Structure 1
Amino acid sequence: MNKHKLKALILMVGAIFMAFLMVNVISQASTSRDQGVDWSKFQGNSGVFGYSTDKFVFSQAGGFYGGTNIPQTTYASQVKSAQQAGKRVHTYLWDGVGGNMTNAKAMMAYYLPRVRTPKGSIVALDYEDGASNSVTANTNAIKAQFKLIKAYGYTPVLYSGKAYLNAHVNTSAIVKAYGNCLWLAEYPDYLVRTSPNYNYFPSMDGVAIFQFTSTYIAGGLDGNVDLTGITKSGYTTASKAKAQANVKKAKKAQAAKKATFKVVKYNQRGVFYPNRTLAVRYTDSDKVRQVATYYRGESVTYNAVIIEHNFVWARYTRSNGLYGFIKLGVTNGHDYGKRVTGQLVSHTYYTVKSGDSWWTIAQRNGLNMTTLASQNGKTIYTTIYPGQRLVVR
């Protein structure tokens, strides 16, 4: 075969391959080519749209950073803004759990009750940093999170780059279980691009959303195209009906879990009144329940009233800044309503630093993580912030 014929053959094979690739991409895109944006705190409280033709929005609810959950303060207002603009709005989370199954489940336990987008809508995991050295552990953590997202009534999606996923995750196992559920980013440069260039499409099984630019408009904004219609999840008539049914079911379940107790009057304070009934709710697996009502007295402020292992406690703060806990009674049994007062104590405080978590602070001070959280009137799923003071003694 001479050189010219070989060159012609190579060009023909290349053309056939590109045609096949484009047919594949086009077939994937046949259901929907709606374009939309994704927002983090950098897009402000109201978010920023690229163009009036944008159909959907992903808003970041927060994520798992440095061993703890940190919510985005802009999430609620961004969701409201997108809804008012008539866009389909979805949720995404920074998934920095790597291959740690405990952290993966704790992250879901924290964020899923806080999702503000409709049932059926997408909850995407932004998995692009912090992966462990074990592909199996990383994959299992993601699958566990997907299972929880699905069980909570949302549509799970995995966001990342093709190279990162190929290096750290068995995407075939995830796609096999959940179908087209990948949201991949791939673009050649940082020039303003208003529509996808499919020559840079990250061709692999399971791609549902293609993020084709991070410069959708001048100044920077991610632009995405929905290839399969997945962003319509939660926004069809059937999905809305199902969502309403799920809301009613959740309310009934929540009502069934509520319990009541009568608070005993504490000596000489006049803050807790006899026969007052308070509703309480579960917050974690350690049977710690948090009362949503706060009471203020003349000389003592009672806050973070909790039930822990059937005992009713009040965390009090005196005008001199010292605080402690008073055991008010138990919720059932023959000791119900028995008053037990605590002694005024001074405490050793720890100031939270960047990168701290309940686990690291507890380890540093020889405490159990749950005990540390409880003695501060919180649970291990409560977010802590740098500068916050915690009682460690």
Structure 2
Amino acid sequence: MNKRNFKALVLMVGAIFMAFLMVNVTSHASTSREQGPDWSKYNGNSGTFGYSTDKFVLSQAGGFYGGTNIPQTTYNSQVKSAQQAGKRVHTYLWDGVGGNMTNAKAMMAYYLPRIRTPKGSIVALDYEDGASNSVTANTNVIKAQFNLIKAYGYTPVLYSGKDYLNAHVNTSAILRAYGNCLWLAEYPDYQVRTSPDYNWFPSMNGIAIFQFTSMYKAGGLDGNVDLTGITKSGYTTASKAKAQANVKHAQAAKKATFKVVKYSQRGVFYPNRTLAVRYTDSDKVRQVATYYSGESVAYNAVIIEHNYVWARYTRSNGLYGFIKLGVTNGQAYGKRVTGQPVSHTYYTVKSGDSWWAIAQRNGLSMTTLASQNGKTIYTTIYPGQRLVVR
């Protein structure tokens, strides 16, 4: 073969390869290939965009680090900032659970009720560290988390690098169940890049979002391109109509308030003050958005159980009780009513106990257990301490 023919053959093979690559990239792609950044706490309370042409953003709500859930305080304000800027905003979580199914479910139970992006929007798992030695265990955990994300009405996505996924996860099993759901990072260098270099595209099936740089602009910012239109999830016309219906429903629920009155001599319910019921949890335990305090009694939660609305109070001596405020249906709903305190069961903390262990033994979530005791899951508990478990 002479040099001219050989050179032509090389060019032809190269052209075929690039054509194959671009077909792989675009076979499921939206024609716009819209771009946007992703944010963590390092991007501040309002986040920062790369360019006015950015259409979407993914904000970190927190994650599972070193055996516990740690939320990011910037998440709520970043979501509001992106919405005010007219961008589609989505959520991601640092998924440091490895192959531990118990931790994975606890992480989902903690974060899913706290998602502030619209139903249908992306909830991505940032799975790039802490994987176990079992590919099967890692894969099963991710699939279980995806199922929970889907059940909550969101779109599951898996973020990582190609090499890490190939080493620790059976991505084929995930793609079979969820289709194109990968968000992959691959950078050619650390120079400022305003658009993707598809010569560095990670040749892998199922990629919906390509993170093509961590230097989207000078100073550093992750830049992403949507290849399939997945960032429009939760922002279609139908989704907007559903969101508006949800707002109207929430407003109606807020109007169904309960007048609180003085009850016995245990403390003072301020007359004509209201507690707004907010529906949140799927396990029928729902808390209010606002707390009220009396002279010697703090009224710090409302739960709905067995069709009754109960106000939980904390007496000045540290004991707890519940007062029936109303019925969630029927004539008494929303009216001024009183009732008898609910008897409840206590558990005495033992050495080695944790919020998680106690909650599991009593069929509760960690957050519910902590909340009904006037604490958070980050509050230290001590042997001999009494906790309300029923």
Greater RCO between the two (CA within 8 Å, min separation 6)? 1
Alignment: residue pair count: 390
Consecutive unaligned residues of structure 1, counting only runs of 5 or more, are: none
Of 114-123 and 305-314, the range deviating more from structure 2: 305-314
- Give me the TM-score of the superposition, normalised by structure 2: 0.73
SS of residue matched to 1:37:
strand
- Give me the TM-score of the superposition, normalised by structure 1: 0.72
The answer to whether the Cα contact below 8 Å between 1:105 and 1:145 also exists between their aligned partners in 2 is yes
The answer to whether the Cα contact below 8 Å between 1:264 and 1:337 also exists between their aligned partners in 2 is no
SS of residue matched to 1:159:
strand
Shift of 1:328: 12
Shift of 1:62: 1.7
- Once residues 39 and 252 of structure 1 are traced to their aligned partners in structure 2, the CA distance between those partners, rounded to angstroms, is 31
SS of residue matched to 2:278:
strand
Distance 1:262 1:32, change over 3 A: closer
The answer to whether the Cα contact below 8 Å between 2:160 and 2:184 also exists between their aligned partners in 1 is yes
Of 146-155 and 167-176, the range deviating more from structure 2: 146-155
C-alpha offsets along residues 185-237 of structure 1, whole Å, 9 cap, x if unaligned? 00022111111111110111111111100001111000111111211222232
C-alpha offsets along residues 68-127 of structure 1, whole Å, 9 cap, x if unaligned? 222222122212222222222222121222222233233223322322222222221111
Of 121-130 and 274-283, the range deviating more from structure 2: 274-283
Distance 1:26 1:383, change over 3 A: farther
C-alpha offsets along residues 4-24 of structure 1, whole Å, 9 cap, x if unaligned? 988986775455334322333
The answer to whether the Cα contact below 8 Å between 2:82 and 2:89 also exists between their aligned partners in 1 is yes
SS of residue matched to 2:312:
strand
- Once residues 3 and 351 of structure 2 are traced to their aligned partners in structure 1, the CA distance between those partners, rounded to angstroms, is 64
- Once residues 357 and 171 of structure 2 are traced to their aligned partners in structure 1, the CA distance between those partners, rounded to angstroms, is 32
The answer to whether the Cα contact below 8 Å between 2:186 and 2:201 also exists between their aligned partners in 1 is yes
Shift of 1:379: 6.9
SS of residue matched to 2:27:
helix
SS of residue matched to 1:345:
coil
Out of 304, 307, 316, the residue aligned to residue 304 of structure 2 is 307
Of 160-169 and 141-150, the range deviating more from structure 2: 141-150
Aligned residue number for residue 37 of structure 1: 37
- Once residues 185 and 349 of structure 2 are traced to their aligned partners in structure 1, the CA distance between those partners, rounded to angstroms, is 35
The answer to whether the Cα contact below 8 Å between 2:307 and 2:327 also exists between their aligned partners in 1 is yes
The answer to whether the Cα contact below 8 Å between 2:324 and 2:340 also exists between their aligned partners in 1 is no
Percent of aligned pairs with the same amino acid: 91
The answer to whether the Cα contact below 8 Å between 1:190 and 1:213 also exists between their aligned partners in 2 is yes
Distance 1:353 1:255, change over 3 A: farther
Distance 1:371 1:126, change over 3 A: closer
SS of residue matched to 1:83:
helix
The answer to whether the Cα contact below 8 Å between 2:308 and 2:325 also exists between their aligned partners in 1 is yes
Distance 1:332 1:68, change over 3 A: farther
The answer to whether the Cα contact below 8 Å between 2:64 and 2:107 also exists between their aligned partners in 1 is yes
Distance 1:263 1:193, change over 3 A: closer
Distance 1:162 1:51, change over 3 A: same
- Once residues 220 and 356 of structure 1 are traced to their aligned partners in structure 2, the CA distance between those partners, rounded to angstroms, is 43
Of 67-76 and 336-345, the range deviating more from structure 2: 336-345
The answer to whether the Cα contact below 8 Å between 1:209 and 1:228 also exists between their aligned partners in 2 is yes
- Once residues 258 and 121 of structure 1 are traced to their aligned partners in structure 2, the CA distance between those partners, rounded to angstroms, is 28
